[in-house]
Amino acid sequence: MWPLKWKIGAALITLVYWCVLAVLAKPAAIGWGLQRAALSLSGTEHAIIETAGGDRISYFEGGEGPTVILVHGLQDHAGGWMQTVGPLMEEHHVLVMDLPAHGESEPSGYKVDPGDPQNFLGRLIKERVPAGEKVTLVGNSLGGFVVVRYALDHPEQVERVVSVNGAGMPYVADRQMFMPSSTGGMRATLRKVMGPDAIMPPDIMLRDFMREGRLRVPRIWDAIEQTPSFRDELSGMQPELEVIWGMDDGLLSPELGREMAALGKGRFHPIENCAHSPQLMCASEFNALLLSLL
């Protein structure tokens, strides 16, 4: 019979062992899990809508007031908005969705069909927004593409669109940029996204990012390429358009944002010394700006 302290010690050693293995095997997943936990700690609740057609739409929800919906970019997930949700929820009803094939959202088939991202957003609005209420849509990167596309197609449902370093003018990124074959290539992609002076993750995380890219990007890229650019439609934009841009973005040029705002009769809001995802990299300045626009 082992003494109690030996049993406790053995249990702790076993726990540490499995935690180390988990971090070594899936370090990126551990980080994303912590981001999603931060959303829950902000006061949101996580739920999944299961459609008759077999789609699973994952989202977080919290707060009361006018509805604001946050949509992330490629290879991100709802947790990317973890620093934005708390300030927004003080005066708004906030919905944070996972795009199909991201987070816990899954389309009915393996590949994402063209229109699926917008359809997931539309179903979320139908299920969680009071009938007749116009919403504010906020999207970063690919999410910016999704929310502008949705607003052009459904202007009666949208009061305002905020595109944050948003794609769609057209989507100009290269598929291989998100599926590099080496850690050096992954590091180069991250520098474009995070800024040239950003501290890079260790190679073990870079390799995990590469694995995730090989799993996720092929599932959604065809749908992205087959969704038409909205550039020629922006002159007819009915909802109010605000364009926020981290000016150190190496993935999407600030000139694309300026052009988007000009064509859509909107306003361009630069954030200096900030890169592709201001909601993560320059959260305080981004949150203050976003709240001032609502």
Query: Domains of the chain by range and CATH?
Result: 27-293 (3.40.50.1820)
Report the distance separating Cα 48 and Cα 97, nearest Å. Answer: 10
Structure tokens at 133: 């209420």
CA-to-CA distance for 4 and 266, rounded, in angstroms?
68
Task: Specify the pLDDT at position 43.
Answer: 93
E strand or H helix that includes residue 217: helix 203-226
Q: Is there a contact between 49 and 88 (Cβ–Cβ < 8 Å)? A: no
Q: What is the pLDDT of residue 208?
A: 85
**259 in Cβ contact with 147 (< 8 Å):** no
Q: Report the predicted TM-score, pTM, of the whole model to 2 decimal places.
A: 0.88
Residues of the chain under the 70 pLDDT cut:
1-29, 170-173
Q: Which element (helix H / strand E) includes 281? A: helix 278-281
Tokens 């946050």 correspond to what residue? 70
Q: Order of strands, edge to edge, in the sheet holding 158-164?
A: 45-50, 56-62, 93-97, 67-71, 135-140, 158-164, 240-246, 267-271
3-state secondary structure of 269: strand
Note the pLDDT of residue 214. Answer: 85
What is the pLDDT at residue 27?
57
Tell me what pLDDT residue 102 has. 93
CB atoms within 10 A of CB 43: 14
Q: What are the helix and strand counts (H, E) for the chain? A: 10, 8
